[in-house]
Chain A
Amino acid sequence: MLKIENLHARIAGKEILKGIDLTVNAGEVHAIMGPNGAGKSTLGNVLAGRDGYEVTAGTVTFNGEDLLALAPEARAAAGVFLAFQYPVEIPGVNNTYFLRTALNAQRKQRGEKDLDSMQFLKLVREKLKVMNLPNDLLHRAVNEGFSGGEKKRNEIFQMALLEPQLAILDETDSGLDIDALKQVAAGVNLLRAPTRGFLMITHYQRLLDYVVPDFVHVLADGRIVESGDKTLALRLEEHGYDGLAERQPAGAEA
């Protein structure tokens, strides 16, 4: 589904990603771990198409299509979803209106018919119930005045509604207490499906206790330096990210 080959990217002239190779197939959950500054969030932002990131080498294909050639809205319509590390507050834009506009914009790009407000409300209610979220979330402005936990839950709720093929979760666990973390993880687990891939970017192993990954990759200094199964995360928890330098592939440039 997602195939990243030799991806190099820089921001403001500084090279952050220095040759990433990664394949995510449908049904798989991949965790990307690594120390601060390793390039984890950059990877998520490059995949979602945020301005300011310059891809200098490499390719990213999504279902065989050149993902990097698409505008952010076209990536979304193609099925890519980024759960933001810092969800943006948008005063004056009602959450329901925003969600309906987003869903219908995606449907339109895919050549599907708009959902009318009745159909949409039915869908929203259903997803709220499944995600165990309060109704009042719908009547507020997008993320405005939301607590940290509410913002992250709203991201997962949007994901549930938009039903992407590939979900990128950028430090969705950061800033959450244990109860909020469990709620968010439960939401993610509900969305695991044979047709859906996940890329979970996280600094801590904690989230992986609740959302058990199929693969764990360690990103350090812009490269994936180690890959393994969920036990890799446990080893990292034990030994920390120190000593990663020794595990870098032989001959890799600094």
Chain B
Amino acid sequence: MSSVVPSPLLDSLLEAALPESGIPWLDAARRENRAAVAAAGLPDTRVEAWKYTSLRSLARHGFAGGDPQAASRDIDPSAFALPGVAGPRLVFVNGVFRHDLSALAELPAGVVLEPLSRALAEDPEPLRFVLSRHYREVGDAFARINAANAIDGVVLRVAAGVEVAASVHLVFIGTPAGAALAWHARNVIELGQGSSLALVEQHLGEPGQADLATLVSDIELREHARLRHTVLQAAGGNHLIRRNSLRLHAGAHAVMHAIELGGALVRHDLQVALIGDGARFDGRGVFMPQARQHIDTQLAIRHEARDTVSDAHWRGVATDRARGVFRGAVLVAPGADGSDANLSNKNLLLSRDAEIDTKPELEIYADEVQAVHGATVGQLDEQALFYLRSRGIGTGEARALLTSAFCCAVLGDLASAALREHLAALLMAHLPA
């Protein structure tokens, strides 16, 4: 099920010196994860979760392990400015924390926001549980690679009952480092009981780059915590492999909007576990691969407690020879009675050579469950196109208008109007002329 055939990708990652933290349990975890990757290799397309995303071409490339100049690379702060996002900020360049670009001076009371490297240096013990995790599946190769190699990332904690007014901004920038580069970030986010937070996660890169980044985020929402999480991915030509794992305790509510525009090979594993009664997840996503981009979203929602709700709607638009993949798997576990799951993925193919593979899956083992799922792949509505043209709107603009409306349908409930308009404008600008 996996190729242990040596690949330049794996070789380069395995040969790089393991980061030594001096923390025995952490160094042990890194060694174990590296050994696990070395033994199992990378998943091939016979592994269900990687069926539509082949790593063969990526595996042929080697990547240098880290950018020694990352701390001094010139970055224009306007590149990551977003309207309506002016709160605390943590910026990483090629995986390295950049104090000079971050904004940590005035953290609201009850908020801890710091780079993982500092948290480990000061007090590693609270991170032990998360960072000692073992990944068991062969499909988890990149989570293992991340666990073995990540030396920095985000630690964000909101104390119980604290409602953070300003959006927290996490920025991951890939910038050319000469040779092809691999970097890794490990994020640990926890919202205390009854707290609330708006989080904006941004990925940037340049079109000419072809670096590899892995990001793993563990996001824990304690009882009745509320999270609004917006992801804007414009990673340029880079390969970006991310995993967001959310765990929602009783009454917690997470809202995610994920916009995927950039990246050469992009993989987003979004795992949501509704582990407490009445927990709720609302997910909205747009992926828009162009040229030869490959964007793969793997959404897995587990209803593990009573009266949990998930409502997830993703839209894909593929042009040129691009490929989009969406797998939405909803599982309602035994005992999660009264759960309500709604999952949809609608897609537009704007060129004959584009491809979208979509696969909704539903497994229900509980009673009194409401579950709806559906997926469609289609083209723009010819009637609507003619209607717009008959009013004087040119073909290109009419197509852009309809495509943008198709995508923006899932952004309607984004809480920040400024951010919503900005994202809509980005989508519109991203559309093929």
Contact = CB atoms under 8 A, between A and B. Distances in A.
Contact of A92 (B386, B395, B397, B406): B406
Contacts of A82: 390
Contact of B392 (A76, A87, A89, A91): A76
A39 interface: no
Given A91-B405, A92-B408, A105-B397, A50 B386 contact: yes
B383 to A, nearest CB: 5
B388 interface: yes
A218 interface: no
A48 B390 contact: yes
Given A71-B395, A101-B401, A90 B390 contact: no
Interface of B is mostly: helix
A158 B391 contact: yes
Given A51-B386, A72-B389, A88-B383, A105 B394 contact: yes
Contacts, number: 77
Contacts of A158: 391
A12 B2 CA distance: 52
Given A92-B405, A92-B406, A92-B409, A106 B386 contact: no
Given A90-B402, A101-B397, A106 B392 contact: yes
B391 A51 contact: no
A92 B409 CA distance: 6
B393 interface: yes
B100 interface: no
Nearest to A102: B391
Contacts of A34: none
Given A73-B395, A73-B398, A102-B392, 18 more contacts: A49-B390, A50-B386, A50-B390, A73-B392, A76-B390, A82-B390, A84-B387, A87-B387, A90-B384, A91-B405, A91-B409, A92-B406, A92-B408, A102-B388, A105-B394, A105-B397, A106-B391, A162-B391
Interface of A: 48-51, 71-73, 75-77, 81-82, 84, 87-93, 98, 101-103, 105-106, 109, 141-142, 158, 162
Q: Which 8 A-B pairs have the closest CB atoms?
A: A92-B405, A76-B392, A106-B392, A102-B391, A88-B387, A72-B389, A105-B392, A93-B405
